[in-house]
């Protein structure tokens, strides 16, 4: 074995033994048959990144004997996958491990759900590896001997940064793997080989068979990875984007015909996603970056000079692309069955991504009030990233806007009804009638203090009420 291989097997064996659940299962099962670490842990070790959970494969032990051996351990055994040859052992001290028998899988219909899984403890580990998606995921390490079983040269591909399918039927067998290819590119820094990209394109239509939740989960992993832009490029090139996010694909090649934008819309969008990625790991902000201009193609109008515009002009021509885009984002994310809170946040970021720069505290208070206090920082990040091209011509107003926001936050300047110096109880006590007019009164007071924060004292607000004729008899 090469030195690097010795290191890999040693690291994988150590990871398995150090993991409380995997270590105990290994100890118990190792007496009866061959136990291997497979999948993500081996791949991540070859890639030199901290491995995720250890998944075990046990060969040569009958399901009943696996079950009996695991049951003797302290903790619990989950049998929900037993029919498919998969057990999950939860150690009493916390942590769990998947213990699988060798399996072969094959499609018995067109869809992801039409799948037959055959488990057989007498199968060789190589046969199990043959049904896996990518060569880099099809490596096993024998945890007793340290032997690396790598029939598809997965290590070589991983070291070369390549994503390659184990079999040419990989995507036909399971279209979800087309999206796993995208998430692998983004998360593991791999590039699909020509043949793999070609196979993705060939089987992209099969993506319609997948349940929305599975698509969403894999797209989410893709956007959460370190290089979603590489994955988006691959998704465009293979036509996969058109199948899973047709509205995003509609930005491909779209000429903005603008003085302010030299890039085609999809290139601009990817640049924004890339800049947002550099700002941190917030996946919803990345979704917002991906969708921020999705409303542009259907909002465009062209002026007499041939320039494109993306807001509703006099006479009703064109549309405000951020409003159209927010509606589209809601539909897209609803279709993907995203949780409501995530939809709300992403849609709101898309809806408010266009705003004139604010240069005064008053304007900053108006902004916070309009977009909501939880959205201001993200909107500024989005705006900072919303630049054209690869040059760092970021909006120079953003640092000043951030400073203004910090100041009004630190000084607790009023930007919402809850920050007013009086509340509904005060109004009631002062004789204001109960009912919807109360909300309108508070809103009127808020508008006043947003314009002039010094008005936010009890005396000033009651004065204001008297002067404005609301509840004439109210007393401070």
Name the residues that contact ligand CTP, by CB under 6 A: 39-40, 52, 132-133, 137, 174, 176-177, 180
Pairing of strands 34-38, 55-59: antiparallel
Residue 352 contacts residue 322 (beta carbons within 8 Å): yes
Shortest approach of ligand CTP to residue 261 CB, angstroms? 36
Tokens of 239: 């036509």
Cβ contacts of 267 within 8 Å, gap of 6 or more: none
Please report which helix (H) or strand (E) contains residue 290, including its range: helix 283-291
Q: Which is nearer to ligand CTP, 170 or 376 (CB)?
A: 170
- Report the residue number, 40 or 239, with the smaller CB distance to ligand CTP: 40
Read out DSSP for 190-245?
-EE-HHHHHHHHHHGGGGGGS-HHHHHHHHHHHHHSS-HHHHHHHHHHHTHHHHH-
Rounded least distance, CB 336 to ligand CTP, Å? 18
Nearer to ligand CTP, 134 or 375 (CB): 134
Compare residues 40 and 372 and give the one whose CB is closer to ligand CTP.
40
Token pair recorded at residue 324:
């159209």
CB of 174 to ligand CTP, least distance (A): 5
Task: Say how far apart CA 193 and CA 236 lie, in whole Å.
Answer: 15
| DSSP strands (E only) in 281-438 | 301-302, 308-309
CB of 57 to ligand CTP, least distance (A): 10
**Whole-number minimum distance, CB 6 to ligand CTP, in Å?**
23
User: Which lies closer to ligand CTP via its Cβ, residue 39 or residue 295?
Assistant: 39
State the minimum distance, in angstroms, from the CB of residue 216 to ligand CTP: 15
Q: Which of residues 133 and 243 has its CB atom nearest to ligand CTP in the complex?
A: 133
Query: Could you give the CA distance from residue 137 to residue 166 in angstroms, rounded to a whole number?
Result: 9
DSSP state of 166: S
Output the residue with the shortest Cβ distance to ligand CTP.
40
Between 96 and 133, CB nearer to ligand CTP: 133
* Cα–Cα nearest to 274, from 286, 265, 262: 286
Report in angstroms how near the CB of residue 204 gets to ligand CTP at its nearest. Answer: 16
Shortest Å distance, C-beta 40 to ligand CTP: 3
Cα–Cα distance for residue pair 341/321, rounded to 1 Å: 23
User: Of 65 and 127, which has the nearer Cβ to ligand CTP?
Assistant: 127
Q: Cα separation of 424 and 436, whole Å?
A: 11
Q: Give yes or no for a contact between 56 and 23, defined as CB atoms under 8 angstroms apart.
A: no
């Amino acid at each position: 074995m090469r030195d690097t291989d010795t290191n890999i097997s040693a690291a994988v064996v150590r990871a398995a033994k150090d993991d409380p659940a995997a270590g105990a299962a290994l100890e118990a099962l190792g007496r009866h048959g061959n136990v291997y670490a497979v999948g993500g842990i081996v791949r991540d070790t070859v890639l030199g990144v901290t491995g995720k959970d250890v998944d075990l494969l046990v060969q040569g032990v009958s399901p009943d004997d696996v079950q009996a051996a695991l049951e003797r351990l302290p903790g619990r055994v989950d049998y929900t996958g037993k029919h498919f040859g998969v057990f999950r052992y939860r150690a009493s001290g916390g942590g769990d491990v998947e213990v699988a028998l060798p399996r072969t899988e094959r499609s018995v219909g067109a869809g992801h759900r039409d799948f037959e899984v055959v488990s057989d403890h007498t199968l060789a580990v190589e046969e199990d590896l043959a049904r896996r998606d990518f060569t880099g995921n099809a490596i096993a390490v024998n945890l007793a001997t340290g032997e690396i079983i790598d029939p598809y040269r997965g290590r070589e591909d991983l070291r070369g940064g390549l994503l390659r399918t184990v079999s040419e039927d990989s995507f036909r067998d399971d279209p979800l793997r087309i999206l796993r290819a995208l998430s692998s590119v983004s998360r593991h820094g791999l590039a699909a080989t020509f043949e793999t990209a070609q196979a993705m394109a060939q089987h992209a239509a099969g993506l319609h068979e997948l349940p929305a939740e599975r698509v969403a989960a894999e797209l989410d992993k893709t956007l959460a990875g370190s290089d979603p832009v590489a994955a988006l490029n691959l998704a465009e090139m293979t036509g996969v984007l058109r199948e899973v996010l047709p509205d995003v694909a509609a930005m491909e090649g779209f000429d903005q015909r603008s003085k302010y934008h030299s890039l085609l819309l999809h290139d601009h969008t990817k640049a924004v996603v890339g800049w947002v990625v550099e700002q941190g790991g917030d996946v919803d902000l990345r979704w917002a970056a991906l969708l921020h201009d999705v409303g542009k193609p259907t909002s465009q109008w062209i002026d007499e000079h041939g320039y494109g515009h993306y807001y509703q002009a006099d006479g009703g021509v064109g549309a405000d692309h951020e409003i159209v885009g927010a509606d589209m984002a809601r539909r897209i994310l609803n279709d993907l069955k995203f949780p409501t809170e995530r939809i709300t946040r992403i849609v709101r970021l898309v809806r408010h991504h266009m705003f004139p720069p604010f240069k005064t505290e008053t304007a900053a208070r108006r902004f916070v009030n309009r977009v909501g206090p939880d959205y201001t920082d993200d909107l500024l990040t989005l705006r900072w990233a919303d630049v054209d091209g690869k040059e760092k011509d970021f909006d120079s107003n953003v640092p000043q806007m951030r400073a203004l926001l910090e100041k009004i936050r630190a000084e607790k300047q009023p930007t919402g009804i809850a920050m007013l110096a009086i509340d509904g109880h005060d109004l009631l006590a002062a004789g204001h009638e109960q009912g919807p007019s109360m909300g309108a009164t508070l809103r009127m007071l808020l508008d006043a203090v947003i314009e002039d924060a010094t008005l936010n004292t009890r005396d000033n607000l009651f004065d204001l009420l008297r002067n404005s004729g609301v509840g004439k008899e109210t007393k401070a």
